[in-house]
Every structure is written in C-alpha cells, then in structure tokens.
Amino acid sequence: DVKVTQSSRYLVKRTGEKVFLECVQDMDHENMFWYRQDPGLGLRLIYFSYDVKMKEKGDIPEGYSVSREKKERFSLILESASTNQTSMYLCASSLPGTGVFEQYFGPGTRLTVT
Amino acid sequence: GQSLEQPSEVTAVEGAIVQINCTYQTSGFYGLSWYQQHDGGAPTFLSYNALDGLEETGRFSSFLSRSDSYGYLLLQELQMKDSASYFCAVMMNSGGYQKVTFGTGTKLQVIP
C-alpha cells in the first residue's frame, strides 16, 4: 500500500525558531513536493525535487528551504518561523516525468507559529 | 503565469448529478487532474485527462476540452460521503520540468 508519512500531525513553534518538517515515502518515487494549504487559496507549491540532492523553487519559496539527501526523504525547513507561516503543510510524491499528474499526499502537518 | 478558476462552493441533493467546472490559462499544458479532499484528510487523486473527451471511472467522470481551456468533473448518483472539496490541477511544462498547479478548490455539500 502506497504511503507518505509526515513527522508531526500538529506542531506549535515560536516566532524566530528554526522548524523542520520531515516527509518520508515508501514507494521509491523520484518526485517529491511540499505544499502549503490555506483556506480559499488551495494548495500552493513551495519546493519540489525530482532527484536526490536536486531541488527547485515552486511558486512561494520565500522563507523556506528544503533538503533531499535520500530518495525517500524530503525535508522542509523554515529558517526563522513567522506568524504568516501558520498553515497546513502537505508533502506529496509521484512517479517521474508526466507521472506528476498523480500525486500521493501525506496526512499533513498543521503548523502554528505564535 | 498560470491561473485556474473553479467555483468555491456547490450544493447538490443526494442521488442527483453535479458538475464542477474548471477553466485554466497556462502555457505548456499537458493535462488536467482532479483530486478529492475530505475535511481533515489528505487530497486523493481521482482522474486525469490528457486528451479531449470524457474519462469515466465509476460514478465519477472527467472531461477536457483543450481548445476551450476547460474541464469538468461530473459526479453521478451523489452520496453523502461525496461531500468534500474537489481540486482541479493543471500539469504543464515549466522551465524544463513537468509541474502541477492546483486550483483553489470547490467545496461540495451533498444534502439529503
């Protein structure tokens, strides 16, 4: 059974803290993605990676960075958390190339920055 | 850039048929996907159209017209469990990579 897991379901951090969100997939997928989801704004792409050690900016990369040291793991880093980064963060994976049309999502991490 | 438009909310009666439309503007278009997301849950893939026409999967069908930059998701024999948000997503070639951009979602409420 296809599985994408995220390290935390809920997370509360303080402004200025460095925050790590971890995502692991067991499907041997090349592609991995990080999105944030906010009411009325849908899913917005933060960063994506199509191979180990490869990363590309999505539509809203400001204030975030990522790391992909192993194929199965894709980490999202908030260098200095701010209140406007309070959101639901969703990780996804897919097969390569045009396989991106079918993405498998993790359960999400609801991050609150106070 | 790219943009997608879909209605924010739709209400339909159990047993009826509902159509959720999606219009898009993008370059390098490959195809259109649909995802379902229940409250508190993760988005799950429903369907994908790369070519014009209708794709049917059980009670759900999806349609694409590339010339009109338009697609829709059709849900038949609506059930209460179909109450969820539905997202269209365009797949495109951007900067040499295949990327997906999601719409803002349509919240479907099925009423008895």
What does the alpha-carbon distance between residue B49 and residue B33 come to, in Å, rounded to a whole number? 6
Contact across the interface for B42 and A101, Cβ inside 8 Å: no
What digits encode the pLDDT tens for the residues B62-106?
999 999 999 999 999 999 999 999 999 999 887 778 888 999 999
Tokens for B24?
């898009």
What proportions of chain B, in percent to the nearest 5, are helix, strand and coil?
5, 65, 35
Residue A14 has pLDDT above 90, yes or no: yes
pLDDT at B1: 64
Closest-CA residue in chain A for B1?
A59
pLDDT at A2: 66
Percent of the residues in chain B that have a pLDDT greater than 90, as a whole number: 85
Percent of the residues in chain A that have a pLDDT greater than 90, as a whole number: 88
What digits encode the pLDDT tens for the residues B17-66?
999 999 999 888 999 999 999 999 999 999 999 999 999 989 999 999 99
Closest-CA residue in chain A for B90?
A101
Length of chain B: 112
Contact across the interface for A42 and B104, Cβ inside 8 Å: yes
CA B4-B26-B71 angle, to 5 degrees, is 50
